[in-house]
Structure 1
Amino acid sequence: MDIKDLKIFQTIAEEKSIAKASRILYMTPQGISKIVKNLEQEMGCRLFLRNKSGMELTESGERFLEYAKKDIADYYQVKKDILHIEQRQKKVVDLLSAYGIIRMVTPECIIEFGRRYPDIEFHYREYPDLQVERLFAENEGNVAFSIGEFDEELYHVVPIEVFQLQLLVNEKDPLSQKESVTIEDLKGRPLYIESSQFALYHLIVKKCEEAGFQPDIAFQTSGFSLCHKMVKANKGISVTVNFVFDDMKEEGMKMVPFSDGNYEWKVCMITRKEEEENEAVQCFRKFIQEWIEKIKRGEIIR
């Protein structure tokens, strides 16, 4: 048996069906059945009982699943550990970034880094911010851009920039005439917002719940663009940050600040304290800090 066989066994156990497992694994049911048969022959026992409700683990199958999960987890952890060793030795930057942050630092930043350091191997992956945090905690990548506060006992945290979240409204909306708003102004209003995979969503929902109501979420999305589009059409309201608002340059809309608390969109760069930074990551961190300072001084237009 190998790790692939164990993953197939685990999938069947979780789905309780060879047919469902075959769709997930992109394998034929016949191929999966053959692997199960081989595992049972190798272990000298029945691992599954086949009945009308599907594939049920036997007592031996339950014990085998415990060891299979551990072996699978150990295998992937070793792969990640070795990858990090190789990245450290080979000058690799493996960046996980939350959506929207590259727009904030500008794509030209990454292009210029590649030009300045052609000997550094650069990898870039983009996800919702909470997914970035989860993946980075699971030892994916060696540097991350994300949103929020981070445990400084676990990570080296470099604040990049802090933006105040503001309410985005159509100029025809009565809220556009206000100097500022509170969270209660969202009550009963169709709200277009980033999904629950983003910290912004949880901040706004928490603020609404603290004010005693549930927000009327019309739609959840994976980025700011759709939110801006729906507000422009006067279909509802949203929450945004100024650099996205300026970047989209949409007429007929207005940002209104919140006056009832802290609504921060805090961008940070993080690396793991337990992991020795390679030279490439150190160069990248210094480059990003210098780039942001140039943006703040107006030398680079966002």
Structure 2
Amino acid sequence: MDIKDLKVFQTIAKEESITKASRILYMTPQGISKIVKNLEAEMGCLLFTRNKAGMLLTESGKRFLEYADKDIADYYQVKKDILHIEQRQKKVVDLLSAYGIIRMVTPDCIAEFCRRYPDIEFHYREYPDLQTEHLFAENEGNVAFSIGEFDEELYHVVPLESFPVKMLVNEQDPLSKCESVTIEDLKDRPLYIESSQFTIYHMIMQKCKEVGFQPDIAFQTSGFSLCHKMVKANKGVSVTVDFVFDDMKESGMRLIPFSDGIYEWKACMITRKEEAENEAVQCFQQFIQEWIEKIKRGEIVR
């Protein structure tokens, strides 16, 4: 047996169906059935009972699943550990970034880093905030950009920039005349907001919960652009940050600060403490910090 066989067995056990497992694994049912028969022959037992309810684990099958789960997890962990060793030796930066942060850091920053350090291999993937954090916690990548607070016992955390989260309204909305708003001004208003995979969603939901109401979420999206479009059409309100608003360059809308607490979009760069030995990662960290300082000093226009 090999890892592929164990993965097939694990999938059948979870789905309780060869047909469902075949769709997930992009294999034929016949191919999957053959692997099961080979495993049963090798182990000298029935791993599944087959009836109208589907493929159900026998007692021996349940014990074998414990082994399969552990062996599969160990295999993928070893692969990730070896990948990190290879990345360190080959000078690789593997960046995971939450949506929006490259817009803040600017694509020119990444292009300049690659130009200045051609001997460093650079990889980049972009996800919603919480997915980025989950993948990084699962040992994907060796550098991450994300939003929020992070465990400094696990990670080396470098704050990049923080921006106040503000309410975005159409100039025809009565709120556009206000100098500031509170979370209660969202009550009974259609709200366009990033989805639950983003920190900003949970921030707003928590603030609303604290004052005792559920916001009227008209639509959840994967980015700020749709929120801006719907507010421009005066379909409702949204929440965003200054640099995104400035990038959109849309007329007819206003950003209004909240006056009833701290609403902060805090971008950070995180690395695992064991990545301290990776010279390429160290170089990238230093370059990003210097770039952000140049933006703050006005030497680079975002």
Report the TM-score range of the alignment, normalised by the length of the smaller protein: over 0.9
RMSD: 0.9
User: For residue 197 of structure 2, what is the aligned residue in structure 1?
Assistant: 197
Corresponding position of 1:283: 283
Q: CA deviation at 1:298?
A: 1.4
Kindly state the Cα deviation for residue 201 of structure 1 after the two structures are TM-superposed: 0.7
| Partner SS for 2:32 | helix
Partners of 2:277 and 2:220 in 1: CA distance: 37
Match of 1:169 in 2: 169
Tell me the alpha carbon deviations over residues 206-261 of structure 1, each in whole angstroms, 9 at most, x when there is no partner. Answer: 11011101111111111111111111111111110000000010111110100010
Partner of 1:255: 255
- Displacement of 1:300 after TM fit? 1.2
Distance in 2 between residues matched to 1:276 and 1:255, nearest whole Å: 40
What letter is aligned with 1:22?
A: S
Which amino acid in structure 1 is aligned with residue 244 of structure 2?
V
TM-score, scaled relative to structure 1: 0.98
In terms of mean alpha carbon deviation, does 216-225 or 275-284 score higher? Answer: 275-284
Match of 1:66 in 2: 66
Task: Give the structure-2-normalised TM-score.
Answer: 0.98
**What is the match of residue 130 of structure 1?**
130
C-alpha deviation, 1:294, in angstroms: 1.1
**CA shift in 2, pair 1:220/1:7, >3 Å:** same
- Deviation string for 1:31-79 (max 9, x for gaps)? 1111111111111111111111211111111111111010000000000
1:9-24 alignment, distance < 5 Å: 9-24=9-24
Deviation track 1:76-102 (CA, whole Å, cap 9, x = no partner) reads 000000011111111110101000000
Query: How far apart are the structure 1 equivalents of 2:246 and 2:277?
Result: 35
Give the AA of the match of 2:249. Answer: K
Q: Matched residues in 2 for 1:25 and 1:158: separation?
A: 40
Superposed CA deviations along residues 251-300 of structure 1, whole A, max 9, x for unmatched, are: 11110100010100000001111343311111111110111111111111
Corresponding residue for residue 75 of structure 1: 75
The AA in structure 2 aligned to 1:268 is C
Look up the match of 1:297. Answer: 297
Q: Distance in 2 between matches of 1:50 and 1:74?
A: 30
Q: Stretches of 4+ moved more than 3 A in 1?
A: 274-277
Distance, in Å, in 1 between the alignment partners of 2:28 and 2:173 is 56
Q: What residue ranges of structure 2 are gaps of 5+ in the alignment?
A: none
